Structures are given as structure tokens and as C-alpha cells.
Amino acid sequence: MEYVIKELIYCINDRLMAFSINSYLFIMLRQTIIITLIFCLPLFSYAGSNKFEDFSQSRDIIVSGPASRYLKKIRFHSTDGYLGDDTTIKLEQDGTIGIYLGLGESTGRELILYPKDPDNKFRVEQQFTTSLTIMNEGPHIDLVDWKHHVSDWFDIETKENYTFITKEFSSSKFPDVTPGQIVEAVRMQLASWKKSGYNGGEHWIKLASQCITPTTYPCGVAINRLRFRISINENGNWKIIQYIDVEIPMGC
């Protein structure tokens, strides 16, 4: 559309110049038409685009495996803010779709399914897990590979056009652990860091030893993952076809 408008401007300019270049009236007419088209160009360009597409707030996920029999794609859409460049999506080895949010991004999201057969019925359920973190004012060490509280599965709200609205949770639930177990978990985390060439420092051991419970400062508990499972109804039975894990950065 933009190309067509530009060609039209050049054509009008050439025709009017050839017709009467010395006529004041035609010169004014030519300038008026050209200026009008120039100002209208952004409107034509906007009209030729899909005004409902906002890729600063969405990511399209091309599905594979069992889900590809029923879905063309899944859209991961932010309902209340910018989906930053730090958000990444990848397919894990077990077929789970992993979505890694950037720091500070809201978990308010929509999952939009694009079915191959519009008569299919889908269900999306949601679960969350919590992890323990040890805080040192700003810096913190997150034990995301240790123990977790894992919630039950919840059905999530659905709107028209296969759009499912995710739930936002806040929870400090965590398995019962002793102070000694917390200290040992931190030691294991520091040993893992050291193998990767990073020396985390023994001060984390001292901080961990101050944790009487998982929720006693400097320890704390927060949600680190949202998990979704998508099911299709086949002959009255729900069949799971896809898992999606949304990893949430802990801390500030």
C-alpha cells in the first residue's frame, strides 16, 4: 500500500507539471494533492496492517509432537504490560514448552490456542511451584533445583476464541525442612557454582544458618514456576497433549 501511494504521488506530480507548469492554479493544485497524500500515507499504511497485532506483548509458539495434530500454534500474550526482549521460549527435550520471563515481568497472561479443527474442545489447567531463596539485601541465592511446594491443578478461566486467562498466585507454602537441611542445600548450590567457575562466597553459608524456618529472614519463599497442561476432549475423555512451563525470576 505504501509503495502504491508513493507511485501515485510521483505520477500526479509529473502529469501536472507537464500539463501547465506555468499556471499558478495548477501549481497550487499539484502541491495540495501531494501534501494531502503525504499526510494520508501513514493512515493508509496503518489500514493495510493488522491493527490487533502487538508483538511487543505476544509470542507465537509453533507446536510439535502430539499437540501438532490438534493445534497450529499457541500465542503467549501479556494482558497488562510489555513482554520484554528478555523473555525466551524453547522446546525442552521432553516436549515441554519452556517460557523464561525476564526480571520484573508480570505473570498476567493469556494463552490463545489456534486449533486445526474449530469443533474441538480444549481445557487448560494451571499449577504453581515455590522455591526457597536466601536474601542478602539486594543479592540473593535461589534454590530452584532443590525442594518445592507443588500446588494442585486448577481449571483456568476461558473466553471466546480459545483464549484462556492465567491465574496469578502468591504463596509462601514450602515443605518442612530443618535449618541444617537449608545450610546443606546452600553448600550444594555453591559447589555447583564453583564447578562453573563462579565462587559464590562463604557468606551465604552464614546467612543460611540464620534461617530458623523457610520463611524466616534471610530466607524466603516465592513462586518460581507456573505450569500449564492443555487437554483435548476425545470421546468424552480429556487427553493431555501439551505442557507449558513458565519460569519466573525470583527476587527483585
* Peptide bond just before 118 cis, omega within 30 deg: no
Residue range 65-88, pLDDT digits in tens = 889 999 999 988 776 655 566 778
Kindly report the pTM of this predicted structure.
Answer: 0.72
Q: Does 53 reside within a domain?
A: no
Res 54 pLDDT > 90: no
Q: Return the pLDDT at 130.
A: 97
CA 133 to chain centre: 23
| Candidate ranges 135-139, 175-179, 201-205; pick with highest mean pLDDT | 175-179
Same domain, yes or no, for 130 and 174? yes
CB of 200 closer than 8 Å to CB of 190: yes
Q: Return the pLDDT at 32.
A: 60
Q: Does 216 reside within a domain?
A: yes
112 three-state secondary structure: strand
Q: Does 252 reside within a domain?
A: no
Q: How far apart are CA 111 and CA 37, in angstroms?
A: 40
The number of distinct structural domains making up the chain is: 2
90 three-state secondary structure: strand
Task: Report the share of the chain in percent with pLDDT over 70.
Answer: 71
Same domain, yes or no, for 30 and 66? no
Which residues form the domain of 95? 58-247
Residue range 193-219, pLDDT digits in tens = 888 888 777 899 999 999 999 999 999
* Peptide bond just before 42 cis, omega within 30 deg: no
Q: Does 35 reside within a domain?
A: yes
Same domain, yes or no, for 152 and 72? yes
Q: Does 133 reside within a domain?
A: yes
Same domain, yes or no, for 18 and 82? no
Q: Give the confidence band of 10 by pLDDT, cuts at 50, 70, 90.
A: very low
Taking each continuous run of H as one helix and of E as one strand, the counts in the chain are 4, 13
Res 188 pLDDT > 80: yes
Is the model more confident about 143 or about 6?
A: 143
C-alpha cell at 160: 471466546
Same domain, yes or no, for 32 and 147? no
Res 48 pLDDT > 60: no
Same domain, yes or no, for 93 and 162? yes
Same domain, yes or no, for 145 and 122? yes
Tell how strand 71-78 and strand 109-115 pair up: antiparallel
Q: Does 198 reside within a domain?
A: yes
Same domain, yes or no, for 87 and 16? no
Q: Give the confidence band of 151 by pLDDT, cuts at 50, 70, 90.
A: very high
Q: Does 52 reside within a domain?
A: no
CB of 129 closer than 8 Å to CB of 175: no
Same domain, yes or no, for 78 and 191? yes
Q: Return the pLDDT at 53.
A: 35
Q: Return the pLDDT at 50.
A: 32
85 three-state secondary structure: coil
Q: Give the confidence band of 138 by pLDDT, cuts at 50, 70, 90.
A: confident
Same domain, yes or no, for 71 and 37? no
Q: Return the pLDDT at 41.
A: 42
- Per-position DSSP letters for 187-207, written without gaps between them: HHHHHHHHHTT----THHHHH
Same domain, yes or no, for 220 and 186? yes
Q: Does 28 reside within a domain?
A: yes
Q: Return the pLDDT at 43.
A: 38
Identify which of 127, 111, 208 has the alpha carbon closest to the alpha carbon of residue 171. Answer: 127
Is the model more confident about 33 or about 232?
A: 232
Q: Return the pLDDT at 103.
A: 77
Burial of 94 (C-beta count, 10 Å sphere; 0-12/13-18/19+): exposed
Q: Return the pLDDT at 250.
A: 81
Task: Report the share of the chain in percent with pLDDT over 90.
Answer: 46
Same domain, yes or no, for 13 and 69? no
Averaged pLDDT of the chain:
79
